Amino acid sequence: MRAIYTFTFLFVSLFWLSVSPASSQVAGAIRGVVTSSDGKPAAFVNVELKEIQKGATTAEDGSFLLRNIAPGSYTLRTSYVGLQPQEVTITVTAGQATPITLALTESTAQLREVVVTGYNKTVSVGKAGTTPLDMPQMSGIVNRVVLENQQISRLGDAIKNVSGVSLTQQRGGVAETFSARGYSIGIAGAAGSIFKNGTITNSAGFPEASTLESVEVLKGSAALLYGNVSGGLIINMVTKKPKFTSGGEVSMRYGSYNLYKPIVDVYGPISKNLAYRVVGTYEKADSYRDVVKTERLYVNPSLLYKLGQKTTILLQGDYLKSNLTPDNGVGALNANQDAVIPTNIPRSRFINTRWAYNNLEQTSGSVNVDHSFSDRWKLNLITSAQSTLVSAYGAGVPNNNVLPNGDWSRQLSRTKTEEYNYTGQLNLNGRFSTGGIGHQVLVGTDLIQISSVSNSFTITSNGVGVTTYDKINILDPAKYEARTDIPTATAISQTTAPSFRFGAYVQDLISLSTKFKVLAGLRWSYQKTGQTSILNLRNQTTTPGPAATRYDRAFSPKVAVLYQPTTSNTVFASYANNFLINTGVDVYGQALAPSIVDQFEAGIKNELFNGRFTANLGVYRIINSNFAQIAPFKLDGTPNTDTNVRELTGQTTSDGLEIDFTGNLSKNFFFITGYGYNYMRYTRSANVKGAPVLGERLTNNPAHTANATVFYTLDRTVLRGLKLGASAFYTGARFGGNNNTVGQTPAFSRLIPLNGFTTFDLTAGYTYQHVSLLVKVSNLTNTLNYLIHDRYSIMPIPPRQLLTTLTYKF
């Protein structure tokens, strides 16, 4: 099947490349700069040629470039959300880039008052510089305005603003897991799907979101560009960049449960060609959960250097020190029975040891080089490195060992891990024509090397090994006296697990006419999962791990057809796939090949009122037709009972739709709304012990999700500067726990059914000159529901809380 897809792609590509009209007209271009009335660069200004409705948005330095313009005279129109547009006549000459400088009638101070949401921006996670209308799959952007107005500090709170995406788990209170289209992503590893500035990042300890410029989400398959990532979504966090204008802000965030969070953001030029930015925050807080505390420090410095007119070098670094209390939530009554959430206890009930800790230290750095060979060809190089060190100690998870009466014999778990990520990618973007057919080409390669180091411990108290630490009752804490001493944990071995990923890809957006486009691409991925090495820390000897080094390879094609009846509408249909690395062996003892997951998607995208209003709808079907499941028979035909012997004969199917409406109809008013539906289930299964249950929905996938946010700022009354906002987030019914298998022992259901829930947030704010104040009440109705990881981390969602931010901008 893969060979057919590959052949089809090559045939289509060669066919279109071979089509060439007899003649074509040499095009020109317009290169310009837009400034404010006081001579400073004006960013995010819309620039459009009225006659052909072709436009662009100015960059941070006010520059813009319009390519492939037929020679002639045009009316160039500049507009800015909430301000009056301006027009000027310009003549384009064949084969030349016509220069122009445009000055707005507004000053920089006036422009700062305008709310700019930037929904019309290129999604950088797409690598190819394509606009949202040219991207044949659904995506979402949570931009700076939303992040600031909702006072977002955690990635999970930002992601709730994207249709079809939900926060479904909090693993031990120290990490988040997100789901979309039936697939989940969480802490990065060999198959990480969370990125920062386009490079893979470990998301343990909660990434800091209060200092981000935006959060980008690409839904569905992204294997063409990123290789072995989730088939549901990838997330790219975009940090704030240096500016060549001086400015900044300082904020103090204060909230319920003694939250204190100062934030500093300072930027400006160092010289004509060098600019800087430093963003940092410190956070200290208690929690609605007893005993739980948070203390975090985050710093994000960056430098931007302009090496001549064609090359920029961006250096970025960040440092996060996060000390959290690990928290498995309220637990579940689940010993050899259907799991029951103890809803008759307070939301604050804490069941870990009071001395438990989870300390993380993460350091990362990256270099991003952009070079323009010409107006049509650009090269981008990114390299990065990241280290993540985690040290944690406390009670183990209450997994299937809490008795129906609430008794739990606690065991201890000591962990110490190190992860080192090294990445590099090189992307060449170009535009050219073969006759009258336009091409927007991306050719690239990337590599990721990850080394994970984990320690094993023995736990002793007074020289005696500790198996059971103590006994508590999660329903009645007074029933037993909990221990408070901290047993000695001694590292006895250290396991190192290396992995390496490499990919090469090519993509072409082919403009057959002004209305029809074809996108075609192909990636080859190579992945090496190295054999682990185990160091005995007692005698310093090293032995290899039990699993041999494995090598996986996969092709990932993508093809799409786009019809654009106008410059503001797109109708698309696409096919893409991604792959899943499997564990286990087949009946011949060979490592299982990757599972190829097919995705079919169609949709409609609209950008109206010069990009101020967007309306998008997408539908999809994702089929893993070679899902790995236990093989019913061994090679000799006898029944198989070894769950490690598997075959690619199962199937999962995910159907769904996503709808987005976003608008910024004036400088005073913006809104975001979205809805997602998903039906992810097992559609083929062997009826043998250990196989999935046919027809069962997969866990952690809400059937319905919805979001709505609206903000309005008054500016024409005595209440000028007053801001009002409201948000609502809905997560539908879903299953937590674990999926069942045929003939499982014990026979109780491992699923934990959860009802849907809605939370409401209300915000009020006031701005006077350089000072602003925001006040938010979250979960206004004090709704209670849970986020569940497996059958143990059952975390109540936060109750009603107050959050305020006082900001001074300069």
3-state secondary structure 748-785: CCCEEEECCEEEEEEEEEEEECCEEEEEEEECCCCCCC
Predicted confidence (pLDDT) per residue in 580-596, tens digit: 988 889 888 888 999 99
Per residue in 727-762, pLDDT (tens digit) is 999 999 999 988 999 988 878 888 999 999 999 999
pLDDT tier for residue 22 given thresholds of 50, 70 and 90: very low
- Count how many domains the chain has: 3
In the chain, the largest separation of any two C-alpha atoms, in whole Å, equals 89
| The pLDDT of residue 23 | 34
Q: Quick one: pLDDT band at residue 112, thresholds 50, 70, 90?
A: low
Could you tell me if residue 567 is inside a domain? no
State the Cα–Cα distance between residues 182 and 376, nearest whole angstrom. Answer: 39
Segment 304-321 mean pLDDT: 95
Which residue in 677, 777, 773, 765 sits closest to 727, CA to CA? 777
Q: Which domain holds residue 538?
A: 247-346+359-543+575-809
pLDDT given at position 375:
85
Section 502-523 average pLDDT: 96
- List all residues 6 or more positions away from 478 whose beta carbon is below 8 Å from its beta carbon: none
Q: What are phi and psi of 289, to 5 degrees?
A: -95, 130
Domain at 654, CATH number: 2.40.170.20
Strand partners, 313: 305, 369
What pLDDT, on the 0 to 100 scale, is given for residue 16?
Answer: 38
User: Is residue 63 located within the same domain as residue 180?
Assistant: no
pLDDT category of residue 189 using cuts at 50, 70 and 90: very low
CATH of the domain at 157: 2.170.130.10
Residues 228 and 263 in one domain: no
pLDDT-derived band at 340 (thresholds 50, 70, 90) equals confident
Give the per-residue pLDDT at 2.
45
Identify the weakest region by mean pLDDT among 31-40, 449-458, 698-707. Answer: 31-40
Last residue of a domain, one of 76, 110, 144: 110
165/23: higher pLDDT? 165
235 inside domain: yes
Q: Is residue 557 part of a domain?
A: no
Give the pLDDT score at 711.
95
* Helix (H) and strand (E) counts in the chain: 5, 46
Judged by average pLDDT, the poorest of 36-40, 123-127, 135-139, 692-696 is 123-127
Q: Judge if 224 and 261 occupy the same domain.
A: no
Dihedrals phi, psi of 43, to nearest 5 degrees: -90, 155
Say if residue 497 is in the same domain as residue 614: yes
| Residue % of the chain over a pLDDT of 70 | 93
pLDDT of residue 703: 95
Range of lowest pLDDT (74-83, 431-440, 542-551): 74-83
Mean pLDDT score of the chain: 89
Question: What pLDDT was estimated at residue 793?
Answer: 81
Cβ distance 723 to 713 under 8 Å? yes
pLDDT band at 115 (very low <50, low <70, confident <90, very high): very low
Residue 280 is inside which H or E element, if any? strand 274-285
Terminus-to-terminus CA distance in the chain, angstroms? 59
C-alpha pair distances (Å), 618 with each of 132, 446, 574 = 13, 29, 11
The answer on pLDDT for 10 being more than 60 is: no
| Residue 773 lies inside a defined structural domain of this protein | yes
Q: pLDDT confidence of 597, banded at 50, 70, 90?
A: very high
Average pLDDT of the residues in 761-770: 94
Q: Of 283-287, 529-533, 628-632, where does mean pLDDT reach its minimum?
A: 628-632
C-alpha separations of 740 from 125, 168, 696 in Å: 36, 19, 8
Q: Do 220 and 312 fall into the same domain?
A: no
pLDDT band at 21; cut points 50, 70, 90: very low
> Could you tell me if 76 and 153 lie in one domain?
no
Average pLDDT over residues 93-109: 79
Q: Say whether pTM exceeds 0.75.
A: yes
The CATH number assigned to the domain holding 61 equals 2.60.40.1120
Print the SS3 string covering 151-186.
Answer: CCCEHHHHHCCCCCEEEEEEHHHCCEEEEECCEEEC
Q: Are strands 669-684 and 734-737 parallel, antiparallel or unpaired?
A: unpaired
DSSP letter (8 states) at residue 547: S
Q: Can you give the pLDDT at residue 378?
A: 94
Q: Which of 125-134, 236-245, 462-471, 549-558 has the lowest mean pLDDT?
A: 125-134
On whether residue 614 sits in a domain, the answer given is yes
Structure token digits, residue 784: 């209670």
pLDDT tens per residue, range 656-694: 999 999 998 777 899 999 999 999 999 999 888 888 999
Q: Coil, strand or helix: which one is 134?
A: helix
Instruction: Report whether pLDDT(556) > 50.
Output: yes
% the chain with pLDDT above 90: 64
E-strand spans in 220-273? 233-239, 247-255, 259-269
What mean pLDDT is predicted for residues 542-549? 92
For residue 93, pLDDT beyond 90: no
CA atoms of 789 and 787, how far apart (whole Å): 7
For position 160, what pLDDT does the model report?
94
570 lies in some domain: no
Whether 363 and 429 share a structural domain:
yes
The highest-confidence range among 53-62, 645-654, 659-668, 740-749, by mean pLDDT, is 645-654
Q: Is there a single domain that holds both residue 310 and residue 203?
A: no
Is residue 460 located within the same domain as residue 430?
A: yes
Strands 771-778 and 801-809: antiparallel
Is there a cis peptide before residue 746, judged by omega within 30 degrees of 0? yes
Domain boundary among 61, 80, 110: 110
Task: Using the predicted structure, report yes or no on whether residue 99 has a pLDDT greater than 80.
Answer: yes
Evaluate whether 33 touches 60 at the Cβ level (below 8 Å): no
pLDDT of residue 20: 37
pLDDT for 6 beyond 70: no
Question: Three-state SS string across 282-321, please?
Answer: EEEECCCCCCCCEEEEEEEEEEEEEECCCEEEEEEEEEEE
Q: Which residues share a beta bridge with 421? A: 386, 450
Q: Tens digits of per-residue pLDDT, 207-241?
A: 999 899 999 999 999 999 999 999 999 999 999 99
- Which of 53, 79, 110 is the C-terminal boundary of a domain? 110
Per-residue model confidence (pLDDT) at position 584: 87
Q: Would you say residue 8 has pLDDT above 50?
A: no
Most confident of 107-111, 119-123, 408-412: 408-412
Distance between CA atoms of residues 535 and 746, nearest Å:
37
- Do 230 and 262 lie in one domain? The reply is no
Kindly state whether residues 67 and 200 are assigned to the same domain: no
Query: In this structure, is residue 519 part of a structural domain?
Result: yes
β-strands 704-713, 247-255 pairing: unpaired
Is there a contact between 197 and 352 (Cβ–Cβ < 8 Å)?
A: no
Angle at 100 between CA 53 and CA 57, to 5 degrees: 45
Q: 139 and 94, same structural domain?
A: no
Within-domain flag for 335 = yes
Pick the range with the lowest mean pLDDT from 47-61, 554-568, 656-670, 726-740: 47-61
- Give the Cα separation of 231 and 700 in Å (integer): 15
- Average of per-residue pLDDT across 291-298: 96
pLDDT at 19 over 70: no
